[in-house]
Amino acid sequence: MPEVQVKGSFTESSTALICRRYFANFAAVVNMEQQNYRIYFNEGSLIITDSMASLKGIPHLFFIDDDELEKSFKILTSHASAGKNMHFALISPEPNEVMEKFLGQHSVIQAAGGIVFNKDQELLCIKRNGVWDLPKGKIEKYEDQRAAALREVMEETGINRINISDKVGATYHSYFEDDSLLVKETHWYFMAASSTQFHPQEEEGITEVLFQPLSWYQSDEFKSFASVHDIIEKAMSLQSSPAEEAL
């Protein structure tokens, strides 16, 4: 593999996979709240985390040092990773600082969206360009995250009665646009909708808007982007009844 010296797979000894200089610090933070960042590119990803447990079950996983982060990202976003679905993981005692530095070295697009529930605790989804998704879009100039999230949900679904609540988290994915590599940071908020009148924003490629029970999102019928699956899973773990609390 060019440029990056990988550290092996998850099946090897975990003590051999963690950089020695991080081990003492890592042991000190395992009982604290986990901090995980995952930047997707197609089906692969770059992961920055303080938790070995968060990496369990990820296939084709390679462990890297902090000085290999950018090189690994270049491999991930190059033809070298085509069809391989590679995942590079950096374990750090300060993942938020590493992530902040990483984002500062790339062109970042800010976006926001909604995790929208109805009174029956069903979750809203849209079909955009033939793929199931959640309502979201770019943050406009002088617009804050919450306002953008609310506006995008209303525009893409046609729902005009929505209450916004707590922030769920953020997702990251990278892509090429006009030969420029961009990283999109999407901020997600819990919302509650009391309206069932939908008007899909067809000019944005949206053809369906509907509420579905949570069991549907955990089934094979729901095929979406990995980052969407991640934020839905996080939303489910954070709050069992977001709609009731937001109304």
Q: Which residues contact 133 (CB under 8 A, 6 or more apart)?
A: 125, 126, 127, 224, 225, 228
- List pLDDT tens digits, range 35-88: 899 999 998 999 999 999 999 999 999 999 999 999 999 999 997 666 678 999
How far is residue 242's CA from residue 229's CA, in Å, rounded to a whole number? 18
> What is the CATH topology of the domain spanning 108-246?
Nucleoside Triphosphate Pyrophosphohydrolase (3.90.79)
- List pLDDT tens digits, range 155-169: 999 998 899 999 999
Locate CATH 3.90.79.10 in the chain: 108-246
Tell me the pTM. 0.83
* Residue with the two structure tokens 């509907």: 210
pLDDT > 60? residue 28 = no
Q: Which of 166, 179, 64 is nearest to 114 (CA)?
A: 166
- Encoded tokens for 105: 């070295």
Residue 235 pLDDT grade (very low, low, confident, very high; cuts 50, 70, 90): very high
**Cα of 185 vs its chain's centroid, Å:** 8
Angle at 227 between CA 2 and CA 60, to 5 degrees: 35
Integer-rounded Cα radius of gyration of the chain: 19
How far is residue 63's CA from residue 61's CA, in Å, rounded to a whole number? 7
Asked if 3 and 74 count as a contact pair (C-beta separation under 8 A), the reply is yes
